[in-house]
Structures are given as structure tokens and as C-alpha cells.
Structure 1
Amino acid sequence: MSDASDDSDSNGNDTFHPLGEAAEDRFEEMLEETEYDAELGMEMAKDAMRLTKGELTDEEFYDRYHEDVVEEFGEDERPMAGRIEAAREADSDEGAVSELLSTIGGDESRRDVMKKMGVGASAVGLGAFGASQSPDPPTSAVQDEDAEGADADAGGDGDGDGTQWGMALDLETCDGCLSCVVACNAEHQWNDGANWMYILAYEDGIVESPEPDDFDSTRDFNYLIRPCQHCTDAPCEKVCPTTARHTRDAGGLVLTDYDVCIGCRYCQVACPYGVNYFQWEGPPEGAEEMDEDMIYDERDRWVSGAGPQGVMEKCVFDPARQDGQMGEDMVGTTACEEACPPGAIQFGDMNDPDSDPQQYLEDVPLARALEDDPDEEELQDAIAILEGEEEPADDEDDDGLTEDQARRLVEGEYGDGSSQFQLLEEYNTNPNVRYIGNEPGPNAEQVPGPVAYDDVGMVDNRKNVLDEGTVDGGLDL
């Protein structure tokens, strides 16, 4: 192993993965069962997380593992490889580059000319490749030149350029019904237990959950909704030697090209969130009958539906919908969102302040009230005032509600929604999923929820069915 990193993270801990030491041990055992270098996979995963946290630059990460990756896989197609080599080639002939750039005129941009030269827009210097220590690091994702859509720097913060698909997930209105899991499976037909969408009831020593057969309301439970986070700076992509795991330019979706994936499982180890599944078998019965528009995206790449045996799968945010292949009215929707009775899942463009998720995050109490559509006349009046559809009273002594009274009434019924977070923010992966509600504590453990997976024909733990090598147990974020 060339110039491997030390065995501790920035906090001096021996464990690098947020799922803990036991999970790391299982990951290592899993990799040792493959034909690929287990030590290389573990070290790359560790350093991919250091990269997103700003402890390494793209160039350092590339150089550290380039020779080992080429030796193991015969090529190094990691997303930063082409850009770094192009930048170095450009640096070696900087004079010629500068001379050419000085001749640019008219409508032809600097970026267009650089593309024609076969180098990136930032190729004049390597500084742009360095990982940032800010909360919103620059993306190092592969960008598809033939796709239209998101700008490379879109980060899901509501004010970027281009489209960045993402979600707002309200953990306080989720009722654990598992409708989203069933709907996702119906649309994508993944194998039993490979839950692209996962609902976990948990307790963490801070918030306790009731017994599954003794509770007053399904909302007495504490939930975590766990799809793929579709990170702008995804560690899983950084360790992929073949470009199978990539960030699509259109919409910023993090996808796997099944035709390119070799099943090395490095992405499974590098993901902090535990959302990747190895396809031990072929697609389940009936999956082969899926329409090609449901499994091939607008670039004609096989990125959705159950994959063939030996590849990696995960949540994909429904490319067939986002590409308009299911009809223009389905763009900006997902199967899980449509199926959610309480409206806890809000999907849309995180770079559009008027999108469903951004509007929900902007005023959570009002958004919850609109989803609930209450019958009480006073609440209806309060909602109308907050929406600007009715004029509020000027004074509390006047007839009707003042705006402050309307706000207090709605917040008293639906909460203030002030607790918002992203999972594992300290890893700087810049996830495009934002949560409202309680963030799981460090001692969180999965407990039975009000609806069992068996009750809806789903499988909670894949080990019971097929995958004895898949990480299981505890709260696998």
C-alpha cells in the first residue's frame, strides 16, 4: 500500500466509520470475501471521508492510491483522475494555454474553450481541486458533458445554479406506516431486504419509544427516514475505480451504472450512511419485464431498477420521472413522496426557493397545517392568514385573528419545526436531504415500530433472506 494514512481520525480515534468499529470489522470481512484488495478498499474509504472533511485534497487522495488502483483494477477512473491529469498537462504548457485564452472573444466562453482543449475550466491551477473545510465543500463529482441540468457546484442550499434534486423529511409527522418503502419497491422492484427506502424506529437514551403493541399514537415513536442522501461531495463516488458510481450532471443524482459496475463494494464501505446493497442474485421475478424507460435514463445508461447479479444498488431518486420518461407531470416527484399519507416526504429542487422541500423548510408549521388540512374553522382562518389569503385583525381586541395569534395557533397545533439537521454534517458530504425533528443520538438503537415490515410484505433485515455478508444490526444509518 503506497503512503497509506495513519490509523486514527482527526479526533485521535481508531475508528473512522460513523457506524462504528463493529461495522468496520464486518465491512473488512465482507471485502475479504471478494476478489479485490480488502486493505485497499478500507484505506480508500477512510481517506475518502477525510477528503470530504477537508483533511486531504483531491490531489493528495489521487496520488496516494493511483498506483495501487491501477495495479488492482488495471485503470484509475476515479472522478478526480481525469481532471488532475488534465490540470497537470495544462500546467506543463501554461504559456500556450494563456496565449490561447487571451484570444477568446465574442460569445465563446473561457469554459467552452477549455472544454475543447480537453481540460477542465479550473485547469490553469490545482488550487480548485483542494477539499474545503467549509460546510459546503466544492463537488468533485463526475460531470456528464452530454447531460443538461445542474451546475457542478449546486449544493442543495436553495440558492445554487441549476437543478439539485433532494428532499425535506419531517420526522415528527412520519407515522411509520412504511407506505414509502412499499411504493419504492413497487416502482423499482429491488430484491427482498435491499431497502432503497428505509424507515427505522429507534431510541437513543434521550428519546424513548413505546412498545409496538402498546402506544397511543404512531407518532409517539421516534423515526429516521433513510434514503440515499445524494451527497454533492459523495465519498462513495471517490473510491469507485470504474466510474460506475457517479454524479449525474442533470439534477445532481448520485447513480450507479450497472453496465460498468464490477461489484468491488468499495462504495459500500466509503458511504457514511449505509445505503448501498450488493446484488447477490439477479433481479427478482418480474423485474425483467420493466419498461426500458424505467431502467435507462436519458443518457441511455442503466441506472435504475434491480440490477444484474454482482453490482451495487441504492436509492436513485427516480431518474425515469426526473427525465420526463414517465410524463412531464411526473418530473419533480418520487414514488415514496406520492405514497406518504402524512406528507412527511417532500421532494424537489433544493436550489429552487419555491420548490416543495424549500417551502416546507421555510415555514414548517404552516406546511404541516396545509398537509393536514384541518376541519377546525379557527385553524382554517389562521392558515389563510399565514398564507396571505385573508387579512389579519389589526388588534387582539378586534374581531378575527391577528397575524401573531394565527402564528401561535398554528405552532401550538403543529409545533415550530425549529429542529432541522443533515445527517453526519461533520463529514462535509453536503447531503441533499434535510431533516426536521430529533436527530438520532450517538447511542441510537433500532427498535420495533408500529408497523412491522412483514405486515406490508417487506423484509427488515436482509440477512434473514439472503445476504449474510451485508452489515446488519444496530441502527445502520
Structure 2
Amino acid sequence: MGDNENATDDGPSRWPEGDRRTELERMLEDAEHDTELGLEMARDAQRVTAGELSEAEFYDRYHEAVVAEFGEDDRPLERPDNGRDAGTDSPFGVDEESRRSVMRKVGAGAGAVGLSAWAATADDDPAPSATEAEAPEGDDEGTQWGMVLDLEQCDGCLSCVVACAEEHNWERGANWMYILDYEDSASDGHNRLIRPCQHCTDAPCEKVWPTTARHTRDSDGLVLTDYDVCIGCRYCQVACPYGVNYFQWDDPGVSVDELEDDHVYDARGRPVGSRAPRGVMEKCTFCATRQDGTKGEEFVGRTACEDACPPEAIQFGDMNDPESDTRQYLEDPELARVRAQNPLEDELQEAIAVLTGETDPSEGDDGLTEREARTLVRAEAGTAESTFRLLEDVGTDPNVVYIGDEPGADAHQVDGPIDYEAVGHVDTRKDVLEQGTVGFELPD
């Protein structure tokens, strides 16, 4: 393994051991690439996000092993200033021809299987070129799509799971969205966690890719997978602390026409959405092609799961825009919950008008005071006392904010009100809470 043989000697590792490590090893062995390299890179990628290892050190530690295994090293990392990759055309130190050579190298391997399933789509109706794409408008910081998930409002109906499947045509069991019911000692009674991809600002899954398949889109911060470049090594699957990546074992069970051209290619012409081909990794995309406007301008700033959620527990929007649904919801969750109700009682409508400044609060007996309005709203909506980001201490900087109780280290999954089979889906993440999606501890 070269430079990475003693990678565990220079710092503590948070990497799981025992049964969980055995499961991760089995994942990588199935992919027919270097299992130990994948495990070590995944562990150290999480050390990078936690600030225990620099990107340059991480790149240098695995460079020779990655080149030996994949024929190139195109990881989007800060490189050591040693001139190793000087003179190439790629911003990542590797030219385009070298990047694509990995696909030829694995020829009959996982990455080359099933890509022809979309050949007719790509040839018959070409997607827009990268030069035609325009970045969505945002504030000075640019657009960063994200979610606010109100766990206290989620009723476990699984409508979001069904809507996501219908929107993206993924296979049974390869769920991009999960509703995980659980119990633990950190909170009273029954709890629920909505678990999409977190679209991390500092994503460890991106750091371990030998190609540029897993990447963060510059225009809006979405973490996406280019299906045409993915070689199916599954390193992203073991590097992700949230368990949101899926390997596609079979060819799509739907036709090319059903996959829909405008729901596969994003505005840059890269295949990143809908059901992935055989031998390719996939995950939640935050409906990237919707955000590009290809489904219609009315769908920009919306996701399929958000549209389908009856209690409006899912809010999607630009995390950098103070006027977005996400930021407004975080500003006053109780008020947002009540405003979502339909129909609204007259007294609650009056309370909303007072709290939003549409009418002046009363100083006498003719109307509601601001305090009375707030009391009415809280009595109806409850009090949202806590927010959190999942595994925030890991350093991934996720772009999903939760309202409600954070799962504790001893959280264990229990049955929800509606079974996945009842809505035509399979719950293949039954033990996800016990495998590290919550209760993830940093080393001392």
C-alpha cells in the first residue's frame, strides 16, 4: 500500500470495527477494487473533514496507491506543492483524456456495464452543454440549496419516500429518502428522523473518488454523481458517515423513455439524476434537474419530497437567502407550522397577522396583543426548542438542519406507523441507526 501502510499511527481513527467493519469490507470486495485502500481512504477522508489531517497530506498519502489501482488520481483536493502534476490541463492536475482513461481501464468492470442503457437518450436529444448553464441567482454568497426538516411535524406517512421513487425511478430497496422511527434515552417516547443525503459542504465521499464522478456543483453546492464517469469502486459508500449511497447491481427496470431525458442530465450536460445505470453509485440529488429549470421554472426551489409532504415537515430552499423558505422556517418554526395549516381558524389568522406585522398588536380589548398571539400559535403548533445538524461534530458541514430532538448514542430503530412494504417499497436500512448514522463519536 506504499505511503499509507502506517496511516493509523499518526492519529486516532473513528473508523468502525467489528461487525460494521466486516460489512464495509464486504461492500468493497464485491466491487473488485482494492478493499483495504478503500477502507483506509474512507477513514482518513473523515479525518480530513474533522481537521485532523490536511488535504495535502491526504492526497500525498494515497497518491501512489490510487494511481497504481486506478491509473490516475483526479481527487479534488489541495495538492502538495511539489510540482508533481504541473503542466496538465485539468484544474485537478489531470487532463481530460487521462480522466476518461479510467473508464477504458475498467473496461469489462462495473463502471462500463449498463451505460449503453442511456445511449439513445444522449444521442437523440443532446443535453445542453456546460457553457449554456447559468448559475441560479442568489445573494453575495451564491446559492446553496439545503433543507430544514421539522421532525416534530413528520407523521411517518412515507409520502416523501413514494414521491422520490416516482420522480427518479429508483429501484425497490435503493431508497434515496428514509423515515427512521427510533427510541432512545436522550428523549422521551417515540421519535422520528428524516434521512436524505445531507449534501455536505465538506463531503468525505467526494475526497475518496479517484475520478471526478462525485463532485460538488459550483452553481448551487449540490453534491452529485456523474454516472458517465463513475467506475463503481464504492469508496464513497464507505466514506459517507450518513449511509446514503447505493450501488446499482442491475440494469434499469424501466425504459430509456421512462427515465426521461430532462431528468437525467443537468444543465451542464452531465448525467447526474434519475435512476443510475448498472454498476454505478447513486443517491439523493435534491432534484438537481428541477433546480436547473428543466422541469419548468415553477419547480425551481422545490423537491419532489417537499411537494408530497402533507404536514409540510420538509422545507427546501437557498440556505444563503434570508427570504427563502428554509431560512424563514428557521426564523420562526411555530409560526411557519401554523401558516401551513388549511383551513385556518379566524383567531389563528389574526394571531399570524399580528406576528407578521400585517396588523398592529392590540393594547386594549379590541384584539390580540403580541404575547397573546404568540401563546395561541404555540398552543396550536407546539414549541420548537432545538435545532441540530446530523453528526455536526464530524466536520462535514451538512446543508440539512433539523428541528426537534437529536438522536442519542443508544438510539435504536423501531417500527413506524406505516410499513415500507405497504407503500410498495423495501426498508433496507433497518439497522441504520445502530450502524453509525447517529451516535457517531469523535476520538478523544
TM-score (norm 2): 0.83
1:235-314 correspondence to structure 2 within 5 Å = 235-286=204-255, 289-314=258-283
The alignment of Structure 1 onto Structure 2 pairs a total of residues equal to: 399
Of 169, 184, 188, the match for 2:164: 184
Contact 2:338 2:381 in 1 (8 A): yes
Q: Distance in 1 between matches of 2:9 and 2:183?
A: 29
Of 418, 421, 436, the match for 1:454: 421
**C-alpha distance after superposition, 1:260-284 (max 9, x if no partner):** 1111000000001000001011112
Unaligned segments of structure 2, at least 5 residues: 93-129, 438-444
Of 394, 417, 421, the match for 2:388: 421
1:35-434 correspondence to structure 2 within 5 Å = 35-80=32-77, 84=79, 88-89=82-83, 148-149=134-135, 161-207=141-187, 209=189, 221-286=190-255, 289-373=258-342, 375-394=344-363, 397-434=364-401
Q: Distance in 2 between matches of 1:381 and 1:319?
A: 38
- Other-structure match for 1:3: 3
**C-alpha distance after superposition, 1:15-43 (max 9, x if no partner):** 425xx753222101221233111110011
Contact 1:180 1:340 in 2 (8 A): yes
More displaced stretch, 21-30 vs 196-205: 21-30
Relative to structure 1, the CA distance from residue 462 to residue 16 in structure 2 (aligned partners, 3 Å threshold; closer, same or farther) is closer
By how many angstroms is 1:185 displaced? 0.2
Q: Distance in 1 between matches of 2:133 and 2:9?
A: 40
Q: Which amino acid aligns with 1:149?
A: A
**C-alpha distance after superposition, 1:351-400 (max 9, x if no partner):** 11100011000111111111124633322211111111111012xx5331
Relative to structure 1, the CA distance from residue 64 to residue 333 in structure 2 (aligned partners, 3 Å threshold; closer, same or farther) is same
Q: Which amino acid aligns with 2:159?
A: S
Contact 2:216 2:223 in 1 (8 A): yes
Q: Distance in 1 between matches of 2:174 and 2:391?
A: 22
By how many angstroms is 1:475 displaced? 6.0
By how many angstroms is 1:222 displaced? 1.1
- Other-structure match for 1:124: none
By how many angstroms is 1:412 displaced? 2.7
Q: Which amino acid aligns with 1:403?
A: E
**C-alpha distance after superposition, 1:88-143 (max 9, x if no partner):** 549999xxxxxxxxxxxxxxxxxxxxxxx9879xxxxxxxxxxxxxxxxxxxxxxx
SS in 2 for 1:252: coil
RMSD: 2.8
Unaligned segments of structure 1, at least 5 residues: 94-116, 121-143, 152-157, 210-220, 464-470
